Structures are given as C-alpha cells and as structure tokens.
Amino acid sequence: MKLQTICAALALGALAVAANGAAAADNAKAEAAYKATCMACHGSGVMNAPKVGDKPAWKPRVAKGKPAVYANAIKGFNMMPARGGNPALKDDEVKAVVDYMIGKSS
C-alpha cells in the first residue's frame, strides 16, 4: 500500500511539473504576441490604450468581466482595431494576451 501511495504522489508531482511547464510556455507565447502586436499602444498608452501595469486604468475594464474584455479585444473597441490589428491571431491567442496584460495590470 505504501508503494502505491508513493507512486501516486510521484505521478501527481510529475503532472504538476508538466502543467507548470505548459503554463510557462503559454505565458511566453502570450508575452511574445503582446510584444509583437499590442505593446505599440498598450506599452505607451497611445490613443488612451490602458498601459500594461497601470492598475487604475485596468480596474474598470476588469470589473466588466473577462468576457467583455475578450470581446473588445477580438472585435475591436474605440480606436483599437480588431485583434489589435493582427488578423492572424486566433481568438484563444487574443484571450491569452488579454490574460497576460491583465495579469501584469491587476
């Protein structure tokens, strides 16, 4: 019985390491997409884009809920073009970049 418990614990540990590795890879992809597409405006606040890291600017946006922020990023909002002007980004990629920016800003 002890061996089964040890094996189960090792398996869970391996799954956690794999999940953390996958999350880190996904975060790196989101960061790369942010730098390639979104940073031009969200890094400097061009056309009133909320700057990444500006918690007060992001607070009312986050308060609307992530689905609303995702929809704005995908469809475009005010001066921001759909998908930040990069039509090659898939919905899930846009959502990952939104999550990345919110994570840095809240």
Contact between 68 and 24 under an 8 Å Cβ cutoff? The reply is no
Task: Confirm whether pTM is higher than 0.85.
Answer: no
Superfamily name with CATH number, domain 28-105: Cytochrome c-like domain (1.10.760.10)
Write out pLDDT tens, residues 31-78. 999 999 999 999 999 999 999 999 999 999 999 999 999 999 999 999
pLDDT band at 82 (very low <50, low <70, confident <90, very high): very high
104 vs 58: CA distance, rounded Å = 10
The pLDDT of residue 3: 63
The ranges assigned to domains in the chain are 28-105
